[in-house]
Structure 1
Amino acid sequence: MSILKSLKLTNAKPVRSSDNPVERARDKVISALVEQKAMAEAKIAGQHFAPTHMVWRKGADGQRVQVEAPKRLRAGWFTDASGQFFFGLRYAGKTIEFAKDKNAVTIGEFANLPGIIDKLIEAVRAGELDDQFAQASAERGSMLRKAN
């Protein structure tokens, strides 16, 4: 009996990430917002939040090896001079304006932040910030082309 005949064969294709740049931007922002929410929840609970990711480094023998390293995250929230909390969203190296001359969401108490991030995730999924993402991406692209 043939070994291949003992296996269950099928015609399958791997799932590919979206080729649509709008979908890629939404996915990227949503994953960043999920990390921000986890970081905020850890701070509220008084715990340390230390996400990691896999990176390539040179080992002791000079060969490249993949190791787990701490991920650098910047908190999306900040305070003003009066001590009030705000949350800002960045994409493609630019601060996103939610409306004309409005670049932050007022949080009030820090404990409200996870709920506000959930609302921002819903807004991104609904496509309410697609124009701002496209504009920030175009500005970054033109900036990178000038540097070359």
Structure 2
Amino acid sequence: MTALTKLKLVSAQADQKTPIAIRRFKLTGKVDLQIALAKAQTGGGEFVASRKKTIIDRETGLKKQVDAAMTVRPWWWTNQTGTVVLGLRYGSKPIEIAKGKNAIEVGNIDNLVDTLLAVREAILTGELDAQIEAASGAVRAGFKKK
């Protein structure tokens, strides 16, 4: 008896990710960082984000991964009336949520985390696909050669 006869063999292919699915994943990752930042600020704590960075060790010449600090800027601000306003961004470009509207009025800072969670759900369900596509096109246009 061979070792392969003990295993259950199937015909399978990895799921191909569509460009919009990749963009949703990227945006939800950024929204997750905003949620963590909002929770830290409303709880009075400190938020430190990190990412993996590959460096070359000078002594051995080998590549290794280390954690590097990452700056996360809040997407919300307080307007002149004292209301907290949340603006969404894809890369460096703001997302126009509805025609002529690029921000969400949150009201109180305590409602910020719930609003960000609702935005995350809207992204995952595909409600903002057209807006994400437009913002992605604007970001890509900045990289084209002139």
TM-score, normalisation: structure 2: 0.83
Distance 1:15 1:68 in 2: 33
Structure 2 letter corresponding to 1:92: G
Do residues 141 (structure 1) and 140 (structure 2) align?
yes
Runs of 4+ in 1 over 6 A off after TM superposition: 12-15
**Judging changes above 3 Å, is the alpha-carbon distance between structure 1 residues 142 and 14 closer, same or farther for their aligned structure 2 residues?**
farther
CA distance in 2, matches of 1:52, 1:15: 33
Residues 103-142 of structure 1 mapped to structure 2, 5 A cutoff? 103-142=102-141
Identity over the aligned pairs, expressed in percent?
A: 30
| 3-state SS of 1:26 partner | helix
Q: How many residues align?
A: 145
Change over 3 Å in CA distance of 1:62–1:33 after alignment to 2: same
Could you say which residue in structure 2 is the equivalent of 1:99?
98
CA distance in 2 between partners of 1:12 and 1:41 (Å): 44
Query: What is the TM-score with the length of structure 1 in the denominator?
Result: 0.82
- Indicate the RMSD between aligned Cα atoms, in angstroms: 2.6
Change (3 A) 1:8 1:48: farther
The answer for unaligned runs of 5 or more in structure 2 is none
Most deviating of 45-54 and 5-14: 5-14
Unaligned runs of 5+ residues in structure 1 are none
